[in-house]
Amino acid sequence: MNEHPLLSVTATAVFLSTGAFAQQSEPVAERPQFDESRVAPAHTVQRSEFSDLGNEKAKHFAQERGTSLGEATSQLRRQAALAMFIERLKERHPDKFSYVAVNADSIEVGLTDPSIDITALLPPGLANVQKVQAVYSEKGTYARLEELKQQLVSAGLKDVSVGVNPETGKIELLTKKAQAAVQEAITSGAIKSEHGIEVVDDEIIVLGYIDAGKAYNVDPSYCSNYCGGTTGFSLIDYAGTRRYTSTAAHMDNNRARYNTSLTSDYSSGGDTLQLPTDMFNYRLDVQYAQPTDTAGDTPVPYFWDGVTYVSVENYTYPTENVVFCKFGRVTKKTCGTHGPTTVYSNPEWNVSYLRRIPNPGTGSSFVQEGDSGGPVFYGHWALGWIHGRNSNYDLYYTPVSDFKSVQQVVDLIILK
């Protein structure tokens, strides 16, 4: 896989799409380590109140969710207000903000210092907001994960995924093959945590899998192993010319293809990604590249949902108890309710910052091999790219918001 330094990217107004993934050829230990000094402050996006001229967003949302127009409008307004609230919390209290969880009748805000006043940050439309004590801030959670990953590497434990529960502060080690070894490492002190560790019977499986078969965004003549995948977010101009595309980083660049038709599940005539920028250096399962550079109108970000291409109007954050949908070339469009915003990593692929959407009870029809890189979304808002699944077919994905927090040059989604 070709890798390019983040700072070499000079394109502006780039959006993302996704493709399939390839097997890493080098050991995890040889991957460059995350370097905070190379990361600039997150690009700030100014949000405005929810507006929907002609009820176009609400109509699409109502049709997608099978609900009334009034209920769709209400949900969209609340989601817009919630996104604005989260952004304000992160900007005003970056070292104290941990998470926001949406419950049936309340909104829970995790803070390392619940005494701070957040009343002035609340947008209209949000009520019954409760502050609770969190052990780690969001930034602290990431730092703790990086520390633990080094302990896992030093202990020789590879078949382990890791997350930190921001409410309890307990580390969750997900493993199916290495439970005895993990317990031994904890007992010996090779793995340390001041707030406790829980070993969970699970493992994340990357979806760009052996013999995944023909893939949307992949030319079948190039497929042998680890070539299955799905296109996620792309950037076009109004004339329909492809501008930029992005994919999950564990897909081989030489096999990743961008589509030649807006409304097609699969394209065998796509072109290879040119000079893809690989975010594995930052432990993100994302790569993006410029397939063409044809002059045209203002570019518009979009994704394909299996029926039509949907314009992307903004990005959103991982939010508990909110229903998000995804599209994969194998399982098509499916939806599920987001679980706790616990952060997970997949050491085998040296990927961090993953979030999870539990299987809604539909088994393997929820997410499967070949769905890697597909879009995860909320209406017209982008949430992230599919990364993998576990044995229960829960969905793991890389959030757009985390990608955005480490990119320096590229303005991702807001093209207004």
Name beta bridge partners: 247. Answer: 287
Q: Which two tokens stand for residue 192?
A: 């340390």
Q: What pLDDT is recorded for position 52? A: 65
**Residue 14 predicted with pLDDT over 50:** no
- C-alpha–C-alpha distance, residues 358 and 362, integer Å: 10
Residue 140: pLDDT band with limits 50, 70, 90: confident
Q: What pLDDT is recorded for position 115? A: 95
**Residue 194 predicted with pLDDT over 70:** yes
- C-alpha–C-alpha distance, residues 228 and 372, integer Å: 7
- C-alpha–C-alpha distance, residues 220 and 229, integer Å: 11
H-helix segments, 35-114: 56-65, 69-92
Q: What is the mean pLDDT of residues 130-147?
A: 82
Q: Kindly report the number of other CB atoms within 10 A of residue 26's CB atom.
A: 9
Residue 15: pLDDT band with limits 50, 70, 90: very low
Q: What is the mean pLDDT of residues 337-365?
A: 87
Q: Which of 31-45, 164-178, 292-306, 355-369 has the highest mean pLDDT?
A: 355-369
- Averaged pLDDT score across all residues of the chain: 68
Of 256-265, 386-395, 399-408, which range is least confident?
256-265
Q: Which of 13-22, 215-224, 317-326 has the highest mean pLDDT?
A: 317-326
Q: Which two tokens stand for residue 1?
A: 């896989």
User: Which amino acid is residue 337, in one-letter code?
Assistant: T
Alpha-carbon distance values, 35 to 4, 6, 145, 146, 233 (Å):
15, 12, 14, 10, 27
- Residue 179's SS3 state is helix
Q: What is the mean pLDDT of residues 271-294?
A: 66
Of 50-59, 79-88, 305-314, which range is least confident?
50-59
Rg of the chain (C-alpha set): 20
Residue 359: pLDDT band with limits 50, 70, 90: very high
CB 378 within 8 A of CB 367: no
Q: What is the mean pLDDT of residues 372-389?
A: 88
Q: Are strands 343-346 and 161-164 parallel, antiparallel or unpaired?
A: antiparallel
233-271 tens-digit pLDDT: 776 655 555 566 777 877 655 444 555 455 544 433 355
19-63 tens-digit pLDDT: 222 222 222 222 222 232 222 222 222 333 556 667 777 776 676
Q: What pLDDT is recorded for position 285? A: 84
